[in-house]
Structure 1
Amino acid sequence: MTRTELEKRLLAEQDLKYREFHTALLPGIDPKTFIGVRVPTLRKLAQEFSKNASPAEVEEFLQSLPHRYFEENQIHLFIVEKICDFETCLRQVESFLPYIDNWAVCDGKSPKALLKDTTRFESKALEWLKSDKAYTVRFGVNMLMAFFLDERFREEHLKRVATVDENRFEGADRYYVQMVVAWYFATALAKQWNVALPYIQKKKLSPWIHAKTIQKACESYRIAAKEKALLRTYK
């Protein structure tokens, strides 16, 4: 499969109703960049392209930035998250991060090869929090939330996420940074209650993130009713 064939396959899988639905969820993105292909199909096409295209074709696709279509951006990270070599995976992630401009491409990606060197992975995730690109920050928080809230957790992570400077960003960018920080702390309350709770008790988060964290935590099935009742007292 060549890049031209991949684009033809994407266009052949177009669902106009889904395109209309999805563009409404991403109002800041040019509708002309959406084809309208569902995520399971994109994952399937990413797998087929990785398997059937030559390594040179795949590399050319990964280097051809920015991509024309939203769906190509999705496929890009679906390919990258399946790379097995740590150095290659990290290089490809960092090359692509500046081109992410929406939550849908940013979220739900699991580059597990980065776990082959958790020290460097952790360092990079914390470094991404300081980026002037909103979705690089969001990606960094996502990585800490997905891979560093269980056995790899360190209290330092809470401090670093809590001090993300949301005021560097405006409009939708600021909102999506704020949302991921709230999501992170709601998840931390579910997984690391004792060390995360003081951030709510002492109101260490900005007012909007504080309120949204409590809301999301109270919506979580992983937090007990007694703990939710306590959280509500800190609204």
Structure 2
Amino acid sequence: MAIQEDVGAFLASHADEGYRAFQAKLIPNIDPDSIVGVHTPELRKFAKALARREDAEEFLAVLPHGSFEENQLHSFIIAQERDFDKLVGEIERFLPFVDNWATCDQLSCRGLAADPDAALGRAWHWLESDHEYTVRFAIGVLMELFLEERFRPELFQWVVGVSRPEYYVNMMRAWYFAEALAKQPVAAEEVIASGALDTWTHNKAIQKVVESRRISPEQKDRLRAMRRRA
């Protein structure tokens, strides 16, 4: 396949060993040998060019990919899809092969805002998945698209109700509530005060938001007082 050869040549010519070692430390759950070491801005630029190619679908059809960077390219390419139904289809085909937090979080969900009601339905579906990073992605959709003008208080219970052992799922739950405490402080603080979250996620959400500058000193003091002993 011409596109596969072009991708391989691009990755080889842009490999940075120091950056590869840095990435391997940030993403410890994947095989370090699967990381080439190409900087994200270079991948994004290349992905834009790939998305315009007539044979782009040939690259997208090759799953699983062999490297972390190929997964990154895949996520950046499909994020450029403007047709909602096609975007959802590509996301759902790719999600089972996502194996790390970085690819999961860089799979943009912004295009889903074209049909918020349908996006919310897919998010609910993804939350029920057995796959760790599909659940993480679903929480990311709720965080990115439904914490401001589309906010609904009942969505908090969707995230509260996620009961999973995986670190990267619960870190996303904590991140979600840290964002909620900044963007919907009254409603989110009620959830924190209720004790509905497990202790680890509860404390991590408080930790993340009090380290930011987006909430008032008074709110920080209230939240610190809500920390629970492990």
What TM bracket, shorter-length normalisation?
over 0.9
Match of 2:22 in 1: 21
1:90-139 Cα deviation digits (max 9, x unpaired)? 00000000111100101133233322211110111122111111100000
Indicate yes or no: 2:139 matched with 1:138. Answer: no
1:157-205 Cα deviation digits (max 9, x unpaired)? 10000110113xxxxxx11111000000010010111111111111110
C-alpha separation in 1, matches of 2:148 and 2:198: 25
Please give the residue correspondences for 1:1-235 in structure 2 after superposition, counting only pairs within 5 Å.
Answer: 2-51=3-52, 53-54=53-54, 57-167=55-165, 174-235=166-227
Unaligned runs of 5+ in 1: 168-173
C-alpha separation in 2, matches of 1:130 and 1:27: 26
After TM superposition, what 4+ stretches of structure 1 lie above 6 angstroms from structure 2? none
Q: How many residues align?
A: 226
C-alpha separation in 1, matches of 2:32 and 2:99: 13
- Is contact 2:126–2:138 with CA below 8 Å preserved after alignment? yes
TM-score normalised by length of structure 2: 0.95
1:192-225 Cα deviation digits (max 9, x unpaired)? 1111111111111001001101101101221111
Unaligned runs of 5+ in 2: none
Aligned AA for 1:157?
Answer: L
Deviation of 1:62 after TM superposition, in Å, equals: 0.9
- Is contact 1:126–1:140 with CA below 8 Å preserved after alignment? yes
TM-score normalised by length of structure 1: 0.93
C-alpha separation in 2, matches of 1:60 and 1:110: 21
C-alpha separation in 2, matches of 1:194 and 1:108: 29
1:51-75 Cα deviation digits (max 9, x unpaired)? 2x21xx2111111100011000001
- Is contact 1:46–1:79 with CA below 8 Å preserved after alignment? yes
Aligned AA for 1:111?
Answer: C
